[in-house]
Structure formats: C-alpha cells, structure tokens
A and B are shown apart, each in its own frame.
Chain A
Amino acid sequence: MSSQAETGKNRFILALFGLVIAAVAVYAGYRLLAPPPPQIDVTYNTVSADGLYQVTFETDLQPVPVGETHAWILTVTTPDGAPVSDAEIAVDGGMPAHGHGLPTEPKVTENLGEGRYRVEGMRFNMGGHWEIRVGISATPGLDEAKFNIDL
C-alpha cells in the first residue's frame, strides 16, 4: 500500500472518531440541559427487618419539609394486615452519608388506636438522603423498620 493510501485511511478513521465524539458531546449536552426524569415515587411503606411488621407513615405537612418540626402518623400492622395496637415504639434516624443523626429526639406522643401512633418532633435540617429507623416492640416480638427518604 502506498503511503498516500495509508494517510487517507487514517484520515477516515480520525474523522469517524471525531464524529463519534461529537455525537457523544451532543448527547451529553442534551442530558445536561434536559429536565431530569420525574422523581421515583417514594412509597412510605416498609416491612420490618425480620418481617414481623408492616409499617407505613403519613405526615401532617406535605411534602415532607426541611427545616420544620412536624408530626408523623405511623401505622403498624402484622404482615397479614391486623393492626398492632399495643406497640412500644422508638424513632431515630440520620444521614448515613454524613454520619449525623436527627437534630431532634422524636417521640410517640399518642396511641391513636387501630395500630396508629402519633410521632411528634420529626425534623430534617438539610436536604438529601435520610434514614429513619422505627424500633417496634409488641406481642409478635422486637423488630426494626427502616424508611429511606430523599428530601
């Protein structure tokens, strides 16, 4: 093969390479500028670690606020849906990525019956990923449920 042909082939490869990079650049630019996909719907519903309880929560402020002390209603049932109304409940949590806990000490302030418990003193002092741990002690046994919340 002549050196001329060699150069031509290399030019072709180089151009192809450039095109691929340009395409990647355009796609990356599009991804950066396009609105992000809708947030994954977070279901505030979980099963405790050993499977003893099904736990859900609702909050008195929506969406879950940053920088405001608010209350949760926890609902605790057995896996087949029977309300657990005699539970002792402890709530704690924190940000695993930052190694700090909640800025408050939330407490159950009222047993509302039918497996529902009012937890006051919930507060998140920054946005990001929080983990809330709910310790439950009732007739079926001791277990812990965990909620992952992205604020």
Chain B
Amino acid sequence: MQARRAAAFLLASGSLLLLAACGADDFDENEKKAIRSLSLAALPERPIDPSNRVSGDPRAAAFGALLFTDTGLSGNASMSCATCHKPERQFQDDLPRGVGAAETDRRTMPLAGVAWSPWQFWDGRRDSLWAQALAPLEDAREHAGNRTAFAHHLAARHARRYAELFGPLPALDHLPADAGPKGTPAERAAWAAMSPDDREAVNRVFSNLGKALAAFEETLRPPQTRFDRFAAAMLEGREPEAGNDLSDLEREGLKLFIGKANCLECHNGPRFTDDHFHNTGVPPVAGRADDAGRADGIAEVLADPFNCLGTYSDAEPDACTALRFMRRDRAAMQRAYKTPSLRGAASRPPYMHAGQFASLDEVIDHYSRAPAAVSGRTELRGVVLTERGRKALVAFLKTLDPQRASDP
C-alpha cells in the first residue's frame, strides 16, 4: 500500500518536472538559435557570380527567362529547360529520373535558391549556374542540341537581345548547321573540321547563352513558408499570425529535426543544405550503370572548359574559391551526392538522386535504419524514432512547402 502511494507520488513529481520542461514554447536558447539559422531571415544577400558578367543584370534575367522556355534550343525543337524544370512544379518534374530526348540517370533538381549553391548537379560536376545550364543543352538524353545549331538559333531569333548584353554575334553563315564536340559522330566531325578561331567564337556564344539562362535562374528565390513565418514570430517573441502557427506535432518534428534526428548535420542553414556531398548509403537503381557520384564529379569539374578558371569565365582566378579549394579526395566522395534543400521537398516526391524512394516515410525509414552503402561508406549512424516521431518529422517537413502554386 505504502509502496504504491510512494510510487504514485514519485510519478506525480516526475510529471511536474516534465511539465516544467515541456511548456507550449519549450524551445531553449540553442534550439532558437538553430531555428533562426534555418529560417529565411538567415539567408544572405543573393551572391553575384563573378564568373558571369551578366549575373545580377535584370535585362539578362529577362532574356534568360525567354530562353528558358525556348524549344528552339533542342535537337528536335520540342524541348526547353522548362520541359523538366516545370515552373508550376517548383521547377522540377516529379519523375524519378528526368526525361528529355531519353531518360537520364538522375532526379531533376528544383531551382529555388540555386544562386546560393557553389556546386551544381547532384555530383557537383559544374561550379557555376551558367556552366551547368550548358551541359543539358548538348546532352543526347536531354536537349540533344549542338553548339553551332544554338548559335544559328540565337542569330535567327534573338540577335538583338543577345547583342545588347554581349555585343554583336560573330559571323556564322559559313559554319555548319550542326556541329559540336559532344554530339553525333557527324556533328563531332563537323566540329573538328572547323577552324580553332571559329570553334572559339562559337564556344563564346554558347557560354553567353548559359550566362543569360543563369541570370534568370538565379532570380528564383526560396519563397517564404509557414515555418519561416512561425520562426520570425517566435524569434520576435510574439504570437504567430493566424494560420502561421505550428501544431504540437509539427513542433515535435522541428525539435527532432534540430535535435536527436541529426538532420542538421547536412540539412543546415536557410536552404537546409550544407552545399557539400555525402554518402548516405542510398541504394543504386537496379539495372543501371555504376554511379560513383561526387567521386567522378571532381575530375569532371576540373576538366570542364567552362569552369571558373577557364577561358570563358569572367572571374579573376582568385575569385574561384570553390574550385581552388575543392576537396579532391576521391575515395571519401565515393557515392556521395549533394545535400538537397528540403524547402518544398514534402510536396515533390520521389526522393534521392535517382528517385529511389517514393515517399518521405521511406526516406525517414532509410535514415533510421542506416543500411551499409554498396560502395564507399555511409555517413549515417541510424536513429531510433517512434511512430509519432516519424509522423512529427513528416509534419514538420510539410511546413517547408511553398504556399502558392506559382512559388518556385
């Protein structure tokens, strides 16, 4: 009897202690600091890309917006950047792997906030937005176009706008209709037969095409979300406006996210990414070629003629910090992929670099189990989550969704 009463008393005292620790606004100072670091209030000014002389130029952005949806920039005149980067779908396509002229190997990435990203593609094989924009244009599975065809198209359709930004186009009439170093054997042969000066002139036009596209893409800012409005109110010590509060479950998810679920190790900062590459043991897609991720991206970005240190870059070499101080340790980057932003992620399955997981539940299950990587070593250590904890994490991630369909 007495033992039971003592136990009841202990239980009551214990509950008191718990209550004291878990009030409605139970984020401690460290948690508040983490919440601020994730909110858009912590997003620095939009950086200007020193390698792109039209970066930050509104005229270039307007020209880039036209080019972004221009199907003339493809081998069969039916595809544009917007074919996979759909503006009404956060500039991605909801497919496990993007489909241009054929299916590619990787998930199409959304574009909000790309201006802040030092590396492009899942494996960081490009070091600027303009160098990135060039790659799909002449990839046989994407736009399947070629460099002289792009130059001819610009001359036919966009000569005036081009000239306003980059000066007059060079003489192109004597050049083949289709030629490029990455096209069909016939296109490659035609490219090899061109004079070095002509190839150089076309490369210059090609790089400017990328720079205009980049000037548009860098204007796509991550939109304010319910989480950002909640964070702003919390940090100012006021109640969130109606509709901007987080439910108990969402708060629990946020607490887990910044706490014991270890998400902040990679998904940190206002874009929820550390802009680095990690092996998280995500399984390969059955029946597809081996994919080493960042391990291969390192050599590719160094060899890219359009990188920050190349002839077509407008940057002083000193300004190319990402490339100059890039981690070159290939072994450590085996099957490592860029940390994607989690802003808007809840409403754009499937997940991972090749769409391996169909739902956030599958993603959380993977992070919880932390299976070994097929090659390289996973950085995951696994985390034990309750059923409610899993639901809470998903609920929190949904607070990062854009609130209007027109949001990037």
Which chain A residues have a beta carbon within 8 Å of chain B's beta carbons? 10, 14, 17-18, 21-22, 24-26, 28-29, 32-33, 35-36, 66-69, 98-107, 120-121, 123, 125-127
Contacts and interface: CB of A to CB of B under 8 A. Distances in A.
A22 B17 CA distance: 8
A140 to B, nearest CB: 28
Contacts of A121: 321, 324-325
B275 to A, nearest CB: 7
Nearest to A25: B17
Nearest to A124: B274
A107 B321 CA distance: 11
Interface in B305-342: 321-322, 324-329, 332
B322 A10 contact: no
A74 to B, nearest CB: 16
15 contacts: A14-B5, A21-B13, A32-B28, A36-B28, A69-B118, A99-B379, A101-B329, A103-B274, A103-B276, A104-B326, A107-B324, A123-B325, A125-B275, A125-B276, A127-B34
A66 to B, nearest CB: 7
A103 B275 CA distance: 9
Contacts of B28: 32-33, 36
B372 interface: no
A10 B6 CA distance: 10
Contacts of A106: 325
Nearest to A28: B17
B265 A98 contact: yes
B223 to A, nearest CB: 20
Given A36-B29, A100-B379, A105-B327, A127 B321 contact: no
A34 to B, nearest CB: 9
A32 B21 contact: yes
Contacts of A67: 268-269, 274-275
B187 to A, nearest CB: 38
Contact of B16 (A10, A22, A103, A107): A22
B21 A28 contact: yes
Contact of A66 (B268, B322, B329): B268
Interface in B3-47: 5-6, 9-10, 13-14, 16-17, 20-21, 23, 28-30, 34, 37, 44
A14 B328 CA distance: 66
A126 B325 contact: no
Interface residues of B, dominant DSSP: helix
B6 A14 contact: yes
Given A10-B2, A121-B321, A103 B20 contact: no
B261 to A, nearest CB: 14
Given A25-B17, A29-B17, A103-B327, 13 more contacts: A14-B5, A17-B9, A18-B9, A18-B13, A24-B17, A25-B20, A67-B275, A69-B325, A104-B326, A120-B325, A125-B274, A127-B37, A127-B268
B385 interface: no
Contacts of B2: 10, 14
B6 A17 contact: yes
Contacts of B268: 66-67, 125-127
B46 to A, nearest CB: 14
A50 to B, nearest CB: 28
B264 interface: yes
B266 interface: yes
Nearest to B328: A105
Contacts of A107: 324-325
B5 A126 contact: no
Contacts of A26: 20
Given A35-B29, A105-B326, A121-B324, A29 B20 contact: yes
Contacts of A125: 268, 274-276
- Which has the most chain A C-beta neighbours within 10 Å: B2, B23, B325? B325
A126 B264 contact: yes
Contacts of A100: 379
Contacts of A103: 274-276, 327
A120 B20 contact: no
Interface in B27-77: 28-30, 34, 37, 44
Contacts of B329: 101
Ranked 6 nearest A-B pairs via Cβ = A121-B325, A29-B20, A125-B274, A25-B17, A21-B13, A103-B276
A10 B5 CA distance: 11
A24 B17 CA distance: 8
Interface string B118-144: 100000000000000000000000000
